[in-house]
């Protein structure tokens, strides 16, 4: 575990990190992308970290890949690439940088390392896990294969490298339906997210989909009743749910899609009011680009995603820790499953 008081002391001795309204005012371009959701007082606190990270990033020839669930100061202040799980994996194959700093959770950093074995991939906090990745091991995949002989295994990217290595192909929430449709099999095993599997099964009724009993602690909290009550309380609000939500929640929504799918839907439809049934930072990060949309309603915080902070990113780049390592034999097998997914998604496009 990171010793934050000691890290804070060291960072303050090395960098000028005191709140700085003048510096903040000089960084207006960055602030303009988050001014609806980050107050000027908070920006004065973040700006010295953002400036230090952006300078260090150039010195280290590092690129920062940030998931859509990062906080606005990370998403708009320091990221070179932002996106959903699929977009980040694809960008990881394209980067020319020597170092990748993954602002997201551990499985995302592992995916970047699997795709870039020669590059250094840094995780600002190795404790940033995922309930889905924790729910299954390679042994679980073997059990499913034994129960459904001959059925291919489609594994969500929210898994460890070992689980990917034991699978036939990966998927994300933005390409799961296409991947299931493309497979030449009547019965398909999906791991580890039962809700994603059930939501996909509803769209591909011609195939029999069997699933592992995993779920996301953020999305499983929503209920269909919550959504109905919210609609009654605020009629006319467009309700947009991530496919990690239970199927009855997705059925109550106006649209369901991955985090990039949610952004595309909002950009295309420009609803007057929207409720994003997903992690809290999603609405914050797209709010300034869509001032015409009022984002309302409850959201749930992912405790793992929120472990990544500006302070930890600065420490990570300063010390070049902690590098993510994947056993080369495991990485070789996992790469096949991830690359098959990327190739199939590109064909679809």
What residues form the annotated binding site? 67, 85, 130, 156-158, 173, 216, 242-244, 259, 302
Q: Which does 217 bind (CB under 5 to 8 A by kind): ligand SF4, ligand 13P, none?
A: ligand SF4
Q: Is 227 in the site for ligand SF4 (CB under 6 A)?
A: no
| First-to-last C-alpha distance (Å) of the chain | 42
Residue with tokens 């930890």: 312
Buried b (16+ CB within 10 A) or exposed e, 46-79: bbbbbbbbeebbeebebbbbbbbbbbbbbbbbbb
Q: Is 305 in the site for ligand SF4 (CB under 6 A)?
A: yes
Residues 149 and 227: their CA atoms lie apart, in Å, by: 39
Q: Is 114 in the site for ligand SF4 (CB under 6 A)?
A: no
CB nearer to ligand 13P: pick between 23 and 202: 202
Residue with tokens 């420009």: 270
Minimum CB separation of residue 226 from ligand 13P in Å reads 19
Candidate residues 24, 62, 64, 84; the one interacting with ligand 13P per rule CB under 6 A: 84
Q: Which does 313 bind (CB under 5 to 8 A by kind): ligand SF4, ligand 13P, none?
A: none
Q: List the interface residues with ligand 13P, window 141-180 (CB under 6 A).
A: 158, 172-174
Choose the stretch contacting ligand 13P; rule: CB under 6 A; options: 49-57, 79-87, 265-273, 288-296.
79-87
As given in the structure block, the two tokens for residue 68 are 């859509």
Buried b (16+ CB within 10 A) or exposed e, 87-99: bbbbbbeebebeb
Choose the stretch contacting ligand 13P; rule: CB under 6 A; options: 26-34, 83-91, 230-238, 247-255.
83-91
Residues 122 and 136: their CA atoms lie apart, in Å, by: 24
Q: List the interface residues with ligand SF4, window 71-110 (CB under 6 A).
A: 105
Q: Is the peptide bond before 24 cis (omega within 30 degrees of 0)?
A: no
**Other beta carbons less than 10 A from residue 4's beta carbon:** 13
Contacts with ligand 13P, residue ranges (CB under 6 A)? 68, 84-86, 130, 158, 172-174, 216, 244, 258-259
Contacts with ligand SF4, residue ranges (CB under 6 A)? 105, 130-132, 158, 216-218, 244, 279, 302, 304-305
């Amino acid at each position: 575990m990171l010793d934050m008081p000691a890290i804070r002391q060291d960072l303050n001795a090395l960098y000028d990190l005191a709140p700085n309204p003048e510096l903040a005012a000089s960084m207006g371009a960055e602030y303009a992308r988050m001014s609806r959701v980050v107050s000027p007082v908070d920006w004065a606190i973040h700006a010295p970290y953002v400036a230090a990270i952006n300078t260090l990033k150039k010195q280290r020839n590092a690129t920062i890949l940030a998931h859509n669930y990062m906080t606005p100061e990370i998403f708009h202040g320091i990221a070179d690439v932002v996106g959903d799980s699929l977009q980040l994996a694809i960008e990881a194959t394209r980067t020319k940088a020597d170092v990748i700093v993954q602002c997201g959770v551990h499985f995302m950093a592992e995916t970047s390392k699997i795709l870039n074995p020669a590059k250094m991939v840094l995780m600002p906090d190795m404790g940033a896990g995922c309930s889905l990745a924790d729910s299954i091991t390679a042994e679980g995949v073997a059990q499913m294969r034994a129960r459904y002989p001959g059925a291919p295994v489609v594994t969500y990217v929210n898994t460890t490298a070992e689980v990917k290595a034991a699978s036939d192909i990966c998927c994300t929430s933005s390409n799961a339906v296409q991947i299931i449709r493309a497979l030449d099999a009547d019965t398909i095993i999906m791991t580890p997210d039962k809700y994603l599997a059930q939501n996909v099964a509803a769209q591909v009724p011609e195939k029999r989909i069997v699933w592992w009993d995993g779920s996301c602690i953020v999305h499983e909290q929503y209920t269909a009743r919550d959504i109905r009550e919210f609609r009654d309380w605020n009629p006319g609000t467009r309700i947009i749910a991530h496919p990690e939500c239970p199927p009855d929640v997705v059925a109550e929504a106006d649209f369901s899609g991955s985090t990039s799918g949610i952004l595309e839907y909002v950009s295309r439809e420009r609803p007057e009011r929207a409720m994003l049934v997903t992690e809290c930072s999603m609405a914050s990060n797209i709010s300034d680009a869509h001032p015409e949309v009022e984002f309302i309603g409850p959201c749930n915080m992912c405790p793992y995603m929120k472990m990544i902070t500006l302070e930890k990113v600065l420490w990570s780049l300063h010390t070049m820790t902690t590098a993510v390592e994947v056993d080369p034999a495991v990485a070789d097998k996992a790469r096949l499953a991830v690359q098959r997914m990327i190739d199939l998604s590109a064909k679809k496009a």
